[in-house]
Chains A and B, each alone.
Chain A
Amino acid sequence: MVSLRGVRKAFGPNEVLKDISLSVDRGEVCCIIGPSGSGKSTLLRCINRLVPLDAGEIHVDGLGVHDPAVKDADLRRRVGMVFQQFNLFPHMTAMQNVTLAPRRVLGLARADAEERAARLLEKVGLADKASAYPAQLSGGQQQRVAIARALAMEPKIMLFDEATSALDPEITGEVLSVMRELAAEHTTMICVTHEMGFAREAGTHLVFMDDGLIVEEGPPRSVLEHPQAARTRAARQRASPPSRRRTSSA
């Protein structure tokens, strides 16, 4: 479904991604962990072309992300993205946030888009908040609307960029449970996360990145319980007990 080969990216003299290769199959939940500045978010943003590649190849559902002939819109309708800071549109209601792209990009009629949005808002537990503006919602509720907004494009793959890092620890659970539900439905997901509990339980593949490189990867339990690389061991120790550690928002 997603394959990266020899991906490189530098911002000025700062080499953020150094030769990354990774393959994520349909239905897999790939969690990317690693210290701040290790290139996790940049990697995610390369997959939907928010950040252009310097070298290498990325294929998403058969489309070459590195291929200039592939249109942004064709790529991005296949790839949903959820941001750390939610990035809901504050001047639109939850319903309008969710229906905007299906109407404008997919050309759905208003009634069809609203029906789809209502179904998705119900799925994320916010059926009663359709007419609320983002400012009237809690952080967890905003992030769930953002997930519904991304799902409304019926993407082939979902990218989660530290989706719970800006939330208070008490309310990360409501977002994680939506993510768990998606994982259980075999949605293809790539999640940059600090939530070791989620990575261990919902993840099918775990990638540990450090300094622009994939240091270690494999089934979550074996990477977390029998880490080969010293950095993975250190990170695992820092993160235990899992998922209760408050992470700073960027």
Chain B
Amino acid sequence: MTAAYVHALPGLLGKGLAATAGISAAAMGIALAGGFAIGLLRVFRNPFLNAAALVYVELLRGIPLLVLMFFVCFGLPQLGLQIEAVPAAVIALGLWGAANGAEIVRGALNSIPAGQSEAGAALGLGTLEIAATIVLPQALRRTVAPFMSLFTAIVESSSLAALIGVKEILETVRVDIENDASLWTPLLLTALLLYFAINYPISLLSQRFERSLS
């Protein structure tokens, strides 16, 4: 068993870990950028953009991530849009993350008391100046901790990509276990440690951000 475990490790720590980290990082980028774009649309007064953003957020938050991933990977090709497994995982995780990120941004913006904008308006500042100098700087701080939670959720959910055949941590473990059933416990324990090793620094970073912003 020991020899088989040692033999399995390089694949897990190499390509498997790299795939999980890469997919997660790309999805985080989409969640962050998309979350801010859609979250800002949600608080705009333009009714069309507002409604479009609302539909997106409610739709994406109301469906299971795994089904979304299956749809991007296996459903879209039948509609003529061929997407490989890795980009499919990134797109599904990113779209899902952006919807949750949008709610974080909207919540943070709405949490700033109306008196802040009023005080800015009473001083003669314009709407954009109020947003840029008064509301956004305060709201940004309030997005840090929830975005860090979202990022750890993205890392955890990236394991769903195993089910569309992406050779990330979990799928690498599964293939090795199929060859040698005695590896269940050691390889799964290793996988758990790897996920923890990615997420714990994110959690530490979050605590550090919160301390420095308070």
Residues of A within 8 A of B (CB): 48, 50, 72-73, 76-77, 79-81, 83, 85, 87-91, 100-101, 104-105, 146, 149-150, 153
Establish whether residues B124 and A85, one from each chain, have CB atoms under 8 Å apart when the complex forms: no
Question: In the bound complex, what is the Cα–Cα distance between A73 and B129 (angstroms)?
Answer: 12
Q: What 0/1 pattern do residues 9 to 27 of B give for CB contact below 8 A with A? A: 0000000000000000000
Known interface pairs A91-B138, A104-B129. Does A76 touch B115 (Cβ–Cβ under 8 Å)? Answer: no
- New A-B contacts (17) at CB < 8 Å, excluding given A72-B121, A72-B124, A104-B129: A73-B126, A76-B121, A77-B124, A79-B122, A80-B122, A85-B115, A87-B113, A87-B118, A87-B119, A88-B119, A89-B116, A89-B134, A91-B137, A105-B124, A105-B125, A150-B122, A153-B123
B82 within 8 A of A: no
Contacts of B126 in A (CB 8 A): 72-73
Chain B contacts for A88, CB-based, 8 A: 119
Cα-based distance from A13 to B118 in the complex (angstroms) = 24
Once the chains bind, are B118 and A149 in contact (CB under 8 Å)?
A: no
A83 touches B115 (CB 8 A): yes
**5 interchain residue pairs of minimum CB distance:** A101-B123, A87-B119, A76-B124, A105-B124, A81-B122
Identify which of A50, A79, A83, A104 contacts B125 (C-beta below 8 A). A104
Report which of A50, A91, A100 forms a contact with B118, defined as CB distance below 8 A. Answer: A50
- Interchain CA distance A149-B124 in the complex, whole Å: 12
B interface residue numbers (CB < 8 A to A): 113, 115-116, 118-126, 129, 133-134, 137-138, 141
Q: Is B129 a contact of A48 with CB atoms below 8 Å?
A: no
A80: which B residues are within 8 A, CB to CB?
Answer: 122
**Complex Cα spacing A80 to B122, Å:** 7
Distance in Å: Cβ of B171 to nearest Cβ of chain A: 45
Q: Which A residues touch B124, using CB under 8 A?
A: 72-73, 76-77, 101, 105, 153
Identify whether the interface residues of B are mostly helix, strand, loop, or mixed: helix
Chain A proximity of B80: nearest CB distance (Å): 50
Using Cβ atoms and an 8 Å threshold, which residues of chain A touch B119?
A: 81, 83, 87-89, 146
Smallest Cβ distance from A146 to chain B, in angstroms? Answer: 8
Residue pairs across A and B with Cβ atoms less than 8 A apart, 20 shown, are A73-B124, A73-B125, A76-B121, A79-B122, A83-B118, A83-B119, A85-B113, A87-B113, A87-B115, A89-B116, A89-B119, A89-B120, A89-B138, A90-B138, A91-B141, A100-B133, A104-B129, A105-B124, A105-B125, A146-B119
- By a CB distance below 8 angstroms, the chain B residues around A50 are 118, 121-122
The verdict on A100 contacting B123 (CB below 8 Å), with A89-B134, A91-B137 known, is yes
- Contact partners of A85 in chain B: CB under 8 A: 113, 115
Which residues of chain B have C-beta atoms less than 8 A from A76's C-beta?
121-124
CB distance from B45 to the nearest CB of A (A): 15
Q: Please name all residues of chain B whose beta carbon is closer than 8 Å to the beta carbon of A79 when the two chains form the complex.
A: 122
> In the complex, what distance in Å separates the CA atom of A101 from the CA atom of B118?
13
Contact A149 to B123, CB < 8 A, known contacts A83-B118, A104-B129: yes
Assess whether B138 is in contact with A101, with CB atoms less than 8 Å apart: no
Picked from B118, B123, B137, B138, the residue with its CB within 8 Å of the CB of A105 is B123
| Bound CA span A105–B123, Å | 8
Q: B125, A101: Cβ atoms under 8 Å?
A: yes
Query: In the assembly, what is the distance between CA of A150 and CA of B124, in Å?
Result: 10
Q: How far apart are A71's CB and chain B's nearest CB, in angstroms?
A: 9
